[in-house]
Amino acid sequence: MTQKRRIEWIHWLVLGAGAAICLYSLLRFPIDKTDWRFLILAFVLIGFSARLTIQVPQVKAHISFSDTLTFLALLLYGGDAAILLAATEALCSSLRFRRQGVAIKARTILLNTAVMACSTFLTATILRLKFSPITTIPSISHWPTLFLALGIMALSQFLANSGLVALFTALKTGEAFWLTWRKHCLWSSLTYFSGAAAAGVLVRVGGVINFSTMLVTGVIVAIVYFTYRRYIEDIKQSARQAEQAERERAEQAERHIVELSQSIEEQKRISQALKESKDRFRHAALHDALTNLPNRVLFTEYLQKAIARAKRDEEFIFAVLFLDFDRFKYVNDSLGHTFGDQLLIEISNRLRSCVRQVDTVARFGGDEFAILLDGINSSTLAIHLAERIQQAMTAPFCIDGHETFMTTSVGISLSTAEYEEPEEVLRDADIAMYRAKEGGKARHEIFDKAMHAQTLLRLNLENDLRRAVERREFYLVYQPIVHVNSGKLYGFEALVRWRHPDRGIVPPLEFIPVAEETGLIVPLGQWVLEEACRQVRDWQSDFPEFRTLTLSVNLSGRQLNDPKLIQKVKDILFETGFDPSRLKLEITESVVMENAEVSAVLLKQLRALGLQLSIDDFGTGYSSLSYLHRFPVTTLKIDRSFVSRMGQGDENLEIVRTIVTLAKNLNMDVVAEGIETQEQRAQLHALGCQYGQGYMFAKPLDAADVEVYVENERQLATNGTPTPHLPPPQEIEIIKSSMVM
């Protein structure tokens, strides 16, 4: 066989093999994987990749992006997709060169396409034997194994492709195959190994940042590449004109020397003026106008630097304290905003005196302050600072002849490696601050992950609560209030309950504080008052013997601050026809004393409607004896905590005795809560307590059970025979369900 015939036979063999491989891959092509990302990859590979090359310094080789994208298609979509893409890219590249005037025969174009199909097929086959399926290679977590896979891929593609090219060249020139391969193809190995490495990096990065970001990055790189090439061309063109341009610039420089020298002084003056203006604009933009403390923007800048330093230096520790001053709103409301501003200035001065020189005190707005402790040894310093601040606030503030006391709730967030942004640190410190407020105010708390989880739960509860108010998922229960001596029914206290569609009954101690904080307690409280008045009015009509029944309804602090409260109560009394003299609104002692002067005015307006007022949980709040005579209160309710401990010593018994005596002296009724034993009832009766409620008499009853209870009371009054259907008392609740409502 002649040399020409041998070359012809090998050509047709490769062409046939390439055609068969392409047909086989086309039949097996995973059409379900051709999403938009695959189409973009194919578009870039076929349309642009061959045009993007980087010359390796001091080596006669170029790294082509087409190799990288071919390997990327192989790793992401498997061998069949890679074979078709590689063959198509080779075909399109050859046709493009032909259109540009390069003399390429049609059979050579087909041969180039077949060579790429054959070499990619051999590479895919080898990878399948070792790592089946190929698409699992990117997920290999063992780095040595991953490097081995990428190396096998690069080596297989290099040997197959370069071997076929060297074979054709050797047959055409008559040179030895090994010598031809070493001379023309050896250096091209760098292209394949670089492409495989780049593909490996891309699939790894793509698993972290996502394919879209990777493609965007690729587009940006391409833009930068073409810009660079255009820049090189411009440099070459500029070099040819350098001499002429230099002469022109020299002439221009001579003309401008005089002008520049004249303007130097003017520029210096303008620069200095701009610097001074910039500095002034930065006290105005980055500092609080009232206290001259850094504001939130500047504090965030400092905090960002602290986070960055903590990432560089594992031993560097910082902490953020978030402060909110308790009852500051009442100071503004009662003494005015001018007094409040002066108070904020005094507070900022005290905070400055508590910190080190390297620390930052900032005001975010209102009564919210933050402190950055920069470079501390341990969390102990942050705790000590919180205690020092709270101690500093114990001294009274004397402003314009007024003396006031302030307490602060402090949340502490300590630096961790997880923090990336200042907002995350401030968020956690804020969560800890609210936890301190919930724990009783004038306290400090350190953030932990459990707080974040509880905050999310609270947020979900708040969302459910908003829907519950709209859907009326609430219902009322009524706890009887009786005469202590006779046990006869005197009235009912209305208590709200929430029947959640998924969770069932939600404890009031869980949802009432959320309703208070969000303001949902206002519409909820209005519904409770209206529903209770309507229901008890019906019982008064159905049971004439009990037309004097009283109704006690709790009034929250948010409701007390509602400017429309008086009108709402008037409307409810009018619409339900309830006798206002039989209605008792209960307000906790702490709510009344938060702003005693304002409360006194509002309570007098309520009393003027003809209804009665009760101080709930009396004795557990502020020391209010000196203010009590100023309030138009008709009833004191002894907190269950005193009743439950009467048998534990004379001290608790004397507290109850004092409250009863005080009420009698002020011509007020007394109701004892939480009566659970006959001994407690006897002691209260001996002390002169008139009314009581508790599980000894009855648990909170729904509307149907109340009717049975009232019927039982009526039969006892007539013939002494009780109704047998009255449900017996159940296990005593430890949590007082009527804490707010």
Domain regions of the chain by residue span? 3-209, 241-282, 296-447, 458-718
CB 484 within 8 A of CB 478: no
**Model confidence, pTM:** 0.49
Q: Where are the beta strands (DSSP E) in 509-594?
A: 550-554, 583-588
- pLDDT for the residue numbered 723: 40
Alpha helix stretches (DSSP H) within 29-142: 36-47, 65-77, 79-99, 106-130
On the question of pLDDT at 83 being above 80, the answer is yes
- Provide the angle, in degrees to the nearest 10, between the axes of the packed helices 143-173 and 3-28: 150
HSE-CB of 231 using CA atoms within 13 angstroms = 6
Calculate the average pLDDT of the chain.
81
Selected residue with higher pLDDT from 534 and 85:
534
CB 526 within 8 A of CB 568: yes
List Cα–Cα distances, 420 to 308, 311, 416, 531, 624, in angstroms. Answer: 8, 9, 9, 51, 49
- Determine the average pLDDT of the residues in 130-149: 80
- pLDDT band for position 680 (50/70/90)? very high
On the question of pLDDT at 136 being above 70, the answer is yes
On the question of pLDDT at 104 being above 80, the answer is no
- pLDDT for the residue numbered 700: 95
Range with the lowest mean pLDDT among 78-87, 476-485, 726-735? 726-735
Q: Which fold has domain 296-447?
A: Alpha-Beta Plaits (3.30.70)
Q: Tens of pLDDT along 203-251? A: 776 654 455 544 554 554 455 445 445 544 555 565 566 667 667 776 7
Q: Tens of pLDDT along 485-520? A: 999 999 999 999 999 988 899 999 888 988 888 889
- Determine the average pLDDT of the residues in 608-612: 95
Report residue 353 as tokens. Answer: 């005196």
Range with the lowest mean pLDDT among 80-94, 204-218, 411-425, 613-627? 204-218
Q: Where are the beta strands (DSSP E) in 527-631?
A: 550-554, 583-588, 612-618
- pLDDT band for position 57 (50/70/90)? very low
- pLDDT band for position 90 (50/70/90)? confident
- pLDDT for the residue numbered 275: 66
The gap between the terminal CA atoms of the chain, to the nearest Å, is 107
- pLDDT for the residue numbered 47: 65
Q: Which fold has domain 458-718?
A: TIM Barrel (3.20.20)
Nearest Cα residue to 466 out of 475, 474, 478, 454 = 474
On the question of pLDDT at 42 being above 90, the answer is no
269/393 Cα distance (integer angstroms): 49
- Determine the average pLDDT of the residues in 619-625: 60
- Determine the average pLDDT of the residues in 694-699: 94
Percent of the chain's residues with pLDDT above 90: 34
- pLDDT for the residue numbered 635: 94
- Determine the average pLDDT of the residues in 715-730: 52
Please report, for the chain, how many H helices and E strands are present, in that order: 27, 18
HSE-CB of 529 using CA atoms within 13 angstroms = 27
On the question of pLDDT at 155 being above 90, the answer is no
Query: What does DSSP say about strands 669-672 and 53-55: parallel, antiparallel, or unpaired?
Result: unpaired
- pLDDT band for position 674 (50/70/90)? very high
Question: Right CATH number for 3-209 from 3.20.20.70, 1.10.1760.20, 1.10.3720.10, 1.10.10.10?
Answer: 1.10.1760.20
Range with the lowest mean pLDDT among 164-178, 311-325, 659-673? 164-178
- pLDDT for the residue numbered 676: 93
